[in-house]
A and B are shown apart, each in its own frame.
Chain A
Amino acid sequence: MISRLLRTVSNRRAFLGAGALLPLAPLVAGLGNSAAAGEHARVQTASTHAGNHTGDHAGGMTTVGTVDHARNGFDPYDMLTDWETGTLSRDDQGRPLRTFDITAVDVEIEIAPGIFFPAWTYNGRVPGPALRATEGEQLRINFINNGSHPHSLHFHGIHGASMDGVAGAGLVGPGEHFVYEFSAHPFGCHLYHCHAVPLKRHVHKGLYGAFIVDPDPALHPEHEDVARSRQLGALENQDWQELIMVMNGFDTNFDDENEIYAVNTVAHEYMKRPIKIDKDRPVRIYLINITEFDPINSFHIHGNFFDYYDHGTTLTPTSKTIDTVMQCQAQRGIIEMSFHDHEPGRYMFHAHQSEFAELGWMSFFEVA
């Protein structure tokens, strides 16, 4: 019966309390008190330890080790600015035509040091390539499914039913291919993902990516400067430090809860390698939430505020001067901010669900 002692918690306090009434109390209390006495020393030791292990800012709360990005074939740091612009040509009617090639392939990826996940990917990376086009262009996406299950590309954008990437409209069996064609509308910060069923499995296995449509300045005379600053390659765009951040998660033990949360897949990566920011140039973040299983995700910046363009479909902010923004799954938007007047240093940003932050969605800007 005594082993029940080892497991029963509910009435523990009652017993410890009752102990104080009895002459034996000093004995057992002695064992208990040493716990209380150890408290201060312990907390200090713990943080000192952690400091030694993981650098100044983690406080012990971190994954341990490093991910082999070369083995993965993609590096979250490079992904921040890795735009896939495809190839630009003219279609038979003389309109600009942008062509992308995407192949679905099963790859095992390292999502935190030492944790390997059997992912389904677009072009071997999670998130898939960050497609970038300009408003009004004709888009042609050649999709080959080299994976083991049927997959598709379902774009969040304006297109016809036959190009929707659902069953009967561009769902592609293993070894087959399909060409999606539509024009780039509306401008904004969008995404694409697989729409094969079961949806949850196909999404959390890694089949998603950013789909950014830059506004065509000629179509927005009232905010031409803003539109120009958004257009990749335009002179007004050069000054901006543009970053793509896809908030995602991984359910490694398939219990419908994520063991890993991250921006661009690898847990704590930007905590270990802070993102370098030039304080004199403005920052624009294309933020997309594709986290499965949890209703929302969020972005919170320390020591600063930003303007936010929900879905990126406007040229004036939908929220001004906020430091936290919440997104449901597939919601996305553009964050614009400046560190111009800030002292240099590390500025933390993370999900303001502490749970997500502590499971990997924790990052730093290194402002200089």
Chain B
Amino acid sequence: MEETKLMKGNEAIAEAAIRCGCDGYFGYPITPQSEIMETLMALEPWKTTGMVVLQAESEVAAINMVYGASACGKKAMTSSSSPGVSLKTEGISYIASAELPSVIVNVMRGGPGLGTIQPSQADYFQAVKGGGHGDYKLIVLAPSSVQEMADFTCLAFELAFKYSTPAMILSDGIIGQMMEKVILPPQQPRMTEEEIRQKFPRATLGKPADRKPNIITSLAIESEVMEKTNFRLQAKYREIEKYEVRYETYLCEDAEYLMVAFGSVARICKTAVEEARKEGIKVGVIRPITLFPFPTKILAEYADRVKGILTVEMNAGQMVEDVRLAVNGKTPVEFYGKMGGIVPAPDEIFEAFKKQTLK
């Protein structure tokens, strides 16, 4: 049954993973997301649901364990933070090419390099534009609350299996570390092998006499074959763009101006917008929930109506490029950002809005 608890975002991911019938978690410690594996180890799901939790020797090994488990049709996931996700990108590219339903969590911290352990959104490009080698996309979900950390863990598996493609939860150190009330979903049973065979017929569960071998690979020496794989991937991404766009609008009905922000920054923007409204300035917030697929259409629609847009991010300006592509010059799009683990305050955002966007 459902359960209401007060917990950290990282803990919510662990709790939700068990409850949505995850079969295996493979991870490697890195701040600010280590509570995900710590919580799983403390909850000992192998005693209840049979879920496997394993600490790997590296992020590289962890993502490849996920590859192995996902290719057996199992619900498998890993989590890390920015530098660790860079290490995983080789494996993520293989998973995308082999079309496996894996879930990857990135609780972002400031970079580049070893960077800082403070929150950041500087991995937007890495998550949304591919990250690793080759033409691939991840379904990218950006939670902005502890509740969404739990909800999106289940949603990520649902979408990953629906499209046989990896899904990423792109969070940050704020959402990972802060505590909030969360309603946890009821316990779902793990899939039986019979259910796996129906849901993911390519699963390598051992070859029975009545079917051909299942071969999970991302290799095709003949370029004509690899071209076909690419066509299939691109067709799938177009489907995802058609059906899976998710976003939230806040005070947008009468808005003359907009702020666009994702994840934790969207919450700060909501406070900034409330401040602006006290001064009679009609501003709203659009929060992309899926970063891929990006809510291009809704932004294009609003671009016809508003006098200006301010995109706010904890990076040097990454999502703003997608906002500008969506808006296509119909209204000015300005950017305000903080880097290196610095979090913008609502009054700073309001000031930037007055300076850059308000006409």
A binds B: no
B residues near A, CB below 8 A? none
A residues near B, CB below 8 A? none
